[in-house]
Amino acid sequence: MVMKSIHLLTSSKRSSETNYRLGAILAFVAGAINAGGFFAVGQYTSHMSGIISGIADDLALGHVVLVLAGGSLIISFILGAATTALLINWGQRQKLHSQYALPLLLESFLLLMFGLLGTNIEKYITYGVPATVLLLCYIMGLQNAIITKISKSEIRTTHMTGMVTDLGIELGKIIFWNRSEEANRIHYVKGNPKKIRTLTTIVFMFFFGGLIGALSFKDFGFISVAPLALMLTSIASLQIIRDVKKLVYR
């Protein structure tokens, strides 16, 4: 039963239930990387809103180097998302079962590299930004594009603004008072308790991941991302093994 559940997480045949399950797991990973990464590199990397606002402020103040630094972070995030699109579209063209598992496996590899080499690669500076920060932005772009593409833009995992907004909308529907004569009219408003539970779970998982990530980075440093990498590898490996077996026995 457990293996079947893991298998379905990256299956090419999707359902809303498996999308939200994968979203909750990836929200935990994103929260851990975002909060824990702040301890390691002093920069939040999972969402671009603050970085773009910072670029605008630095441009207004004439801080050209900081503008270039912020721009490099955005480019890294975009390249990560583009990589996911390339891998998934290539997998779909090849009719692979692992089309959604491939970017997850790449993310796990990059996280492991970050954990093992973080203390060394942070020495290298690009436009005033440590290479570790660029790597984390790339990883977050990679991950956010995975669940965005799988769920057809219904779920985000690296930032919670959209999820919290959707939660507020659903709560507003629950609270809204429908007059009895409106019950059968087109404007009847009905909340979705299941969606509220799902959104709440994803937001909580991001928070919980952030808490675990901050505590583990504080105590163990870069290597604390290794369990996250192993978890993603275990999720991705089943579909990849399935494709490998198909190739071997063709």
Q: Give residue 186's pLDDT.
A: 60
- pLDDT band at 17; cut points 50, 70, 90: confident
Tell me what percent of the residues of the chain surpass a pLDDT of 90.
22
CB atoms within 10 A of CB 184: 7
pLDDT tens digits, one per residue of 62-119: 888 888 888 988 999 999 999 999 999 999 898 888 888 999 999 999 998 888 877 6
> Could you tell me where the DSSP H helices lie in the chain?
2-9, 16-41, 49-61, 64-93, 101-121, 131-150, 161-175, 193-220, 226-248
- pLDDT band at 28; cut points 50, 70, 90: very high
Average pLDDT estimate for 144-150: 86
Query: Mean pLDDT in the chain?
Result: 83
Maximum separation of any 2 CA atoms in the chain, in Å: 68
Q: Give residue 211's pLDDT.
A: 92
The pLDDT of residue 149 is above 80: yes
In single-letter form, the type of residue at position 197 comes to R
Q: Give residue 160's pLDDT.
A: 81
Q: Give residue 124's pLDDT.
A: 62
Domain count, the chain: 1
Of 1 and 93, more confident: 93
CA-to-CA distance for 72 and 129, rounded, in angstroms?
Answer: 8
The pLDDT of residue 180 is above 80: no
The domain of 244 spans 2-248
CA-to-CA distance for 92 and 96, rounded, in angstroms?
Answer: 6
Q: Is 2 exposed, middle or buried (0-12, 13-18, 19+ CB in 10 A)?
A: exposed
Q: Give residue 231's pLDDT.
A: 92
CA-to-CA distance for 23 and 19, rounded, in angstroms?
Answer: 6
DSSP 3-state of 192: coil
Residue identified by tokens 């408003």 is 189
In single-letter form, the type of residue at position 82 comes to A
β-partners of residue 157 are none
CB atoms within 10 A of CB 153: 10
Q: Is 120 exposed, middle or buried (0-12, 13-18, 19+ CB in 10 A)?
A: exposed
DSSP letter at 173 equals: H
Q: Give residue 212's pLDDT.
A: 92
Task: Report how far Cα 182 is from the mean position of its chain's Cα atoms.
Answer: 41
pLDDT tens digits, one per residue of 221-250: 888 888 999 999 998 888 888 888 777 766
DSSP 3-state of 63: coil
